[in-house]
Structure 1
């Protein structure tokens, strides 16, 4: 009898133990399932958060209307442009202007204050265009520095600007001017880079000089620059999330500008820049794509470019820089131009990044470029 009771107790203990083990496994399994569910939900949210919305293509359903003249490129994209000055048929000089960040074809900095008489005196024709994704130009998800130079060349060909033309690139548009000097130098009669943005990963800079210039960047820009270079797929999220400060350029933060820039911004720039139209197709394929390319890995460094104008009668390349520019480090600009002695370098004391808007600067920049001298 006692033996039967012991057997029964042992059976109960075994059943109870197995049941506890089963319940433990069940609860652990439920926890793991719940944990995995939370992880999947967070991953889905993260994917959605970092994925930019599709662009609103001009002329498409729900997109902005097409109001500008446009050319159709070889790959099927459209490039919008705007003509200034005398007609190209009678022009003596033809310039392609490349706009900067948050701007478009309407924002031709060097022509902001130019009188009609100036265009007529020189026989000057200027064409500006919307970079891919800006204004009314179709986005180009496969955009590179080289493809941008090809866009410039196709624009010149379709508008019949001749075998040679001038380019002027402003701010981050100056990077595209470097691209033209690298990829289509045979098409250029001359080039001017005005406050051109520098890429910290261009080969050739001394480490100590880079480190010093980088530390001068506002903290929020140091982070935004790193993201655009090392994790370009996070660029949209970084500049649209609310947890950390976005790029000051994207956010339109003017606190870090020079005194001259602040004065110019208050009097001129705010009334001249077409901010709304520049990003009407979406901020990713315009501003964020520009950051990803401008701060990405380049196939070349400007410091490795050969002089495209070995004969003084062929033309010159000019770089204009303010020594109080807090967007483009003057120390790095000096280093680039020192490495390229064929560059005509113009450093303006007390000038900031927006000095081209100052009265008389557009005329000075253009006359210097066209005279092919200092």
Structure 2
């Protein structure tokens, strides 16, 4: 069982594998801030649908070495290195929130290896033509992304103490978010199982450093390094219509450009409703892969 994999450029990636060891492989790319222990379908579900779930800490998070200046597109090399180390030729990829653009990068760059990809409550590129990028976004996120985009040094200076506060008390992040959560989201994150999973996730994400989060935000607001219109594999774009952290208009923009996109809009759902949708999304990811 690998818990670390070394990339071709010498970095270590911390990986966790759950579900059916002989099941069909699905990479799950975590949110921001996040880690390999982030929210996932229950083990019983993974066994029932014959899934081997692979999650890992993006560079700078948890137990993975940092890759300064990384772009969204760089994820494809890391996922390829993990798949090679695990002896996987073909696999599906899912990404939630900050992980969603990274899942799209894998689909764009590895059409011969990625069977299907799912992007849940994700973002569109910062330079998306014809999209009002900040429309419908909660003030805290507008502030965070605008600062990352226009004044990265100030963004870094602000995120370091914030990360330290969350590291000493991960519930602080949920409390901070609570003001902007919809009723549906508030209901989901107050579920004890989900709440403890999220707290463990944030704690692990920032355990060693704030730089996973910093590099994620800079990558998401910078040049992604690929064009979603180039994706040739089937993609599901899942979004809650009431999401204020990454507005549903971002998925609509992507759906209009990705040739084989299936767009699913949950009318009453918001950002954390993606956690409830994961089992359904996994069934779709595995629907056309031969056993």
Distance in 2 (CA, whole Å) between partners of 1:175 and 1:249 is: 22
Aligned twin of 1:339: 257
SS in 1 for 2:177: coil
Alignment match, 1:182: 108
Report the secondary structure of 2:156's partner residue: helix
- Contact 1:110–1:365 (CA<8 Å) still a contact in 2? no
Q: How far does the alpha carbon of each residue in 1:215-270 deviate from its partner, in whole angstroms, 9 at most, with x for none?
A: 4334443332222112323321133579xxxxx97994321122111111111432
Alignment of 1:142-153 (within 5 A): 142-153=69-80
Superposed, which structure 2 residues align to 1:29-40 within 5 Å? none
Q: Could you tell me which of 222, 239, 250 is aligned with 2:142?
A: 222
2:156 pairs with 1:156: no
Higher RCO structure (Cα 8 Å, ≥6 apart): 2
Which runs of structure 2 are paired with 1:324-335 in the superposition (5 Å)? 324-335=242-253
Q: CA RMSD in A?
A: 2.4
Structure-2 residue corresponding to 1:50:
none
Shift in CA distance, 127/218, structure 1 to aligned 2, threshold 3 Å? closer
Aligned counterpart in structure 2 of residue 370 of structure 1, from 262, 281, 286: 286
Task: Decide whether the 8 Å contact of 1:191 with 1:318 is kept in 2.
Answer: yes
Q: For 2:218 and 2:175, how far apart are their aligned partners in 1?
A: 16
CA contact (8 A) 1:235 1:292 kept: no
Indicate if the aligned counterparts of 1:110 and 1:356 stay in contact, CA closer than 8 A: no
Q: Is the 8 A contact 1:228 1:291 kept in 2?
A: yes
The alignment status of 1:357 with 2:288, answered yes or no, reads no
CA deviations on 1:173-213 (whole Å, 9 max, x unpaired) are: 001011112222221011111111333323xx31xx41xx5
- Cα drift, residue 335 of structure 1: 2.4
Q: How many pairs does the alignment contain?
A: 276
Look up the SS of the partner of 1:154 in the other structure: helix
Deviations 1:25-46, CA, capped at 9 Å, x for gaps = xxxxxxxxxxxxxxxxxxxxxx
Report 1:263-302 matches (<5 A): 263-267=187-191, 268-273=193-198, 274=200, 275-283=202-210, 285-302=211-228
Structure 1 residue 115, shift from structure 2 partner: 4.9
Q: 1:86 aligns with which of 20, 24, 30?
A: 20
- Shift in alpha-carbon separation, 1:124–1:300, aligned structure 2, 3 A: closer
| Max Rg structure | 1
Separation in 2, partners of 1:252, 1:158: 39
Partner of 2:178: 254
State how far apart, in whole Å, the 2-side matches of 1:367 and 1:159 are: 22
Contact 2:137–2:246 at 8 Å: present in 1 too?
Answer: no
Q: CA deviation at 1:341?
A: 4.5
Q: Distance in 2 between matches of 1:224 and 1:120?
A: 39
* Structure 1 counterpart of 2:165: none
Q: Select which of 138, 147, 155 maps to 2:65.
A: 138
Gaps of 5+ in 1: 1-67, 243-247, 309-315
Secondary structure at 2:115's aligned position in 1? strand
4+ aligned runs moved over 6 Å, structure 1: 248-251
In structure 1, the residue matched to 2:36 is 105
Residues 138, 252 of structure 1: alpha-carbon distance in 2 compared, 3 angstrom cutoff: farther
Q: Is the 8 A contact 1:239 1:250 kept in 2?
A: no
1:91-131: CA deviation from partner (whole Å, max 9, x where unpaired) = 2x111111111221111x341xx352x33333211111111
Q: 1:195 matched to which residue of 2?
A: 121
Q: Is the 8 A contact 2:121 2:248 kept in 1?
A: no
Is the alpha carbon distance of 1:214 and 1:94 closer, same or farther for their aligned partners in structure 2, counting shifts above 3 Å? same
TM superposition shift of 1:153? 0.6
The unaligned stretches of length 5 or more in structure 2 are: 163-171
- CA deviations on 1:298-356 (whole Å, 9 max, x unpaired) are 33332x22423xxxxxxx21111111111111123212212335201111110011113
